Amino acid sequence: MAGKMEDIVSLCKRRGFIWQGSDVYGGMAGTWDFGPLGVALKRRIMSTWWNYWVEGRDDMYGVDAAIIMNPKTWEASGHTATFADPLVECNECHGRFRADKLVEGANESISTEEFKARNAKCPTCGKVNWSDIRKFNMMFQTHVGPVDDDSSIAYLRPETAQGIFTNYKNVVDTIYPDLPFGLAQQGKAFRNEISPRDFVLRDRECEQMEIEYFVNPADWKESFDALHDAYHKFLTEEMGLDADLIHDFEVAPEDRAHYSKHTIDIMFDYPNGQEELMGLAYRTDFDLMNIQKASNKSMEYIPKGGGERFVPHVIEPSIGVERLLLAVLSCAYREEEKDGKKRTILALPEHLAPYRFCVSPLLKNKPELVAKAREVYDLLRKKYGNVTWDDSGNIGKRYLKQDEIGTPKCVVVDFDSLEDDSVTIRDRDTTEQVRVKIAEL
């Protein structure tokens, strides 16, 4: 049986995966903190992504740009003018809401007339008395340096993509890669959501993993399709997502961003409904041309074999770490009943599990067992790194706890181990136990 959203949220909290941000002070809306197990899972997802897309390929390179960028970046990209949500205010209680979320079937471009005609009730006070819609820019604004006037305004980046585009020329000038090539970045992005909701799905601070893949405009389709296929492979084979829960949704021309010629949203069936997991967009030369215009620097690529120079076009696969992590958790979560006993399992792929092994002595009050188990623990930790130790409660309880946090194998040292240098390994998914020589672990 797969989990419901509240079961997953509850497990995340109980076992130290994810907590509300600033929990001790009553929380901070739209922010989440990762505990010891959550950060372990998150880092494994991010490093698996990096190995797969950057280190595992000849045509990809990494960058790591600053979060605070020259504000010209956001003028050139259009964010200053258009990165906004439709905001309405209730004239009775002054609650503020996203207009498109108050009426069914609406999107961000809803007009005041359309909105008012629907007579939506205020979710707070129940009255129907709305202000006109105004555009609310979602970038977090700050001031850089000690001067606190308009000249010092800067923004926390609303996406990592522009940190890639602005380094395109640096990369071409320094390492001159063959086209097509991709630049990848992982990092924080910030959006001042009017109403953060749905656990980590719509938060104000998130971690993105983006690739800008630069191509000759003549070959864009081939690269688009290849990245699309590779991403499906990545999601199912590397992240352990169930292929039946992943759906491609081709975005209609009238719903696409104006610069995009082809966009596929990859949707995922989360426990509480279908949501966007990631996007794959053909952005044409929109970004590089904007930068060329705003910076007065050429963004042209000089083909190595000769021929005319041109500004490359771009395919962008973009995914949020938290969205991916929640998809991974919802595929891994299950509840099982066997012989009248209930257990919760996080059947995470072995390479994503916070701990690969849990090592225990059968009894904690037998020094010779504890010493032998420590030996095994040190050995495995040296080899794998993420190994945990548990000598609390009885062995059955330890298993249940490790099942719930996704540890694939529990290693138990018993009295026989002292004689035959073997241990019992118990499998999380099947609960089967096998005897293995310590030297073969």
Residues contributing to the site for Zn ion (CB under 5 A): 90, 92-93, 95, 122, 124-125
C-alpha torsion sign, points 272, 274, 278, 279: negative
What CA–CA distance (Å, rounded) separates 259 from 277? 21
Pairing of strands 205-215, 313-320: antiparallel
CB of 100 to Zn ion, least distance (A): 17
What CA–CA distance (Å, rounded) separates 24 from 375? 39
C-alpha torsion sign, points 336, 342, 346, 351: negative
CB of 88 to Zn ion, least distance (A): 10
Residue 139: closest CA among 76, 85, 100, 86: 85
CB of 123 to Zn ion, least distance (A): 8
CB nearer Zn ion, residue 92 or residue 242: 92
Long-range contacts at 332-337 (CB < 8 A, ≥ 24 apart): 332/240, 332/406, 333/2, 333/3, 333/7, 333/8, 333/11, 334/1, 334/2, 334/3, 335/1, 335/3, 335/7, 336/1
CB of 262 to Zn ion, least distance (A): 42
Q: Which DSSP symbol is given to 3? A: P
Residue 345: closest CA among 272, 412, 429: 429
CB of 92 to Zn ion, least distance (A): 5
Distance linking the first and last C-alpha atoms of the chain: 32
- Give me the count of residues in the chain: 441
Q: Which DSSP symbol is given to 371? A: H
3 state SS of 16: coil
CB nearer Zn ion, residue 126 or residue 303: 126
The DSSP code sequence of 87-152 is EEEBTTT--EEEGGGTSTT--TT--HHHHHHTTPPPTTT----BPPPEEEE-PPEEE-SS--SGGG
Structure tokens at 354: 């916070």
CB of 345 to Zn ion, least distance (A): 44
**What b/e sequence results for 46-58 when a residue is b if at least 16 CB atoms lie within 10 Å of its CB, and e otherwise?**
bebbbebbbeeee
Q: Which residue type does 18 have? A: I
CB of 102 to Zn ion, least distance (A): 11
CB nearer Zn ion, residue 102 or residue 325: 102
Query: How many CB atoms lie under 10 A from the CB of residue 270?
Result: 20
CB of 350 to Zn ion, least distance (A): 51
What CA–CA distance (Å, rounded) separates 400 from 345? 8
CB of 203 to Zn ion, least distance (A): 25
Report the phi/psi class of residue 209: left, alpha or beta, with left for phi > 0 and alpha for psi in -120 to 50: beta
